[in-house]
Amino acid sequence: MKRLIPAVSVAIMLACACAPATKAPEPAPAAATPAAAIPYGANKDASGTFVHEGVTLYYEIYGQGEPLLLVHGNGGSLGTLAAQIDHFKAKYKVIAMDSRDQGKSSDSAEPITYEKMTDDLAALIDHLKTGPVDVVGWSDGGIEALLLGVRHPDKVKKIVSMAANLNPGPDAFDPEIDALIKSMMELPDDVKGTPAGERQLKVVGMMLREPNIAPALLGKVTAPTLVLAADHDLIRLEHMLTIYKSLPNAQLAIFSNSTHLIPYDDPATFNAAVERFLTAPFRKIDRIPETMGSFEKLMTGLPQ
């Protein structure tokens, strides 16, 4: 049966009427359960729900410390971020949520948009009363992480955006990627008309018309931001450079010999890059003075 590849989202693919919610219990110590035995994405002992704009949103919380929000990609769930949850829960209070119309969160009555999913994240932060968070988003999650900095700047401290795109056009996607997305709208007969099929059409269809973010809008993002991509990503590297150059406080890293799925394929490399950015003080580099300053030190240190 044909289905959407969960984490390959955005990159390609890749009036808050909040009701009372189930409060997530205090998580067990990180070492209490072997990582492989933890059902990330279906762990009732770490889960909670709340309602935003009529949609019941499912989330899980692990660890203790500063809050770190993880955001999954198109058609996936928080379970696709298992390697990131497992790594960062040792030092952070890790929060992850299934986006509306995906995972264990409920379906919405209206068309899905990145702005609505971003506002769901803001509502989650308010619901949990965490204060501002660091946020790491992958693919669709990378788009939402950027939009969180645009729409809710008071709720973010640092942003990591892996393989996001600003539009669904040729600036972001090569023709074969666009064709791939369209092929995912062609459901087999046994899937057509089913709840899973309707979800796929709704969520994948969003990628054909969204997002629609003007690069200038990223100038509103004041939070330090790390822009990540793979050298064989589904998003064009030229587009990633546009994102990087449009952000006032940004760093850029390209993973070598990797694809859009590096958070899954090589989580050690991905997580290390993210952790270094989150833990190091952010500073903007003035490239000419700093380059020449280092050059002078280099030359001074050479044997005469």
Give the pLDDT confidence score for residue 35 in this predicted structure.
52
SS (H, E, C) the chain: CCCCCCCCCCCCCCCCCCEEEECCCCCCCHHHCCHHHCCCCCCHHHEEEEEECCEEEEEEEECCCEEEEEECCCCCCHHHHHHHHHHHCCCEEEEEECCCCCCCCCCCCCCCCHHHHHHHHHHHHHHHCCCCEEEEEECHHHHHHHHHHHHCHHHEEEEEEECCCCCCCCCCCCHHHHHHHHHCCCCCCCCCCCHHHHHHHHHHHHHHHCCCCCHHHHHHCCCCEEEEEEEECCCCHHHHHHHHHHCCCEEEEEEEEEECCHHHHCHHHHHHHHHHHHHCCCCCCCHHHHHHHHHHHHHHCCCC
pLDDT average, residue stretch 293-297: 95
* Backbone φ, ψ for residue 299 (5° rounding): -70, -35
Residue 30 confidence (pLDDT) above 60: no
Confidence (pLDDT) at 304: 80
Length of the chain counted residue by residue = 304
pLDDT digits over 96-152, tens only? 999 999 999 999 999 999 999 999 999 999 999 999 999 999 999 999 999 999 999
What is the set of domains in the chain, with CATH numbers?
19-300 (3.40.50.1820)
pLDDT of amino acid 36:
59
pLDDT digit string (tens) for 190-227? 999 999 999 999 999 999 999 999 999 999 999 999 99
Residue whose pair of structure tokens reads 């492989």 in the numeric block: 36
Contact 7, 73 (CB under 8 A): yes
CA angle, 221 then 107 then 172, to 5°: 40
b (16+ CB within 10 A) / e for 117-154 = bbbbbbbbbbbbebebbbbbbbbbbbbbbbbbbbbbee
Q: Mean pLDDT over residues 76-98, rounded?
A: 98
Task: Give the pLDDT of residue 301.
Answer: 87
Average pLDDT, the chain: 90
Q: What is the pLDDT of residues 248-260, one digit of tens each?
A: 999 999 999 999 9
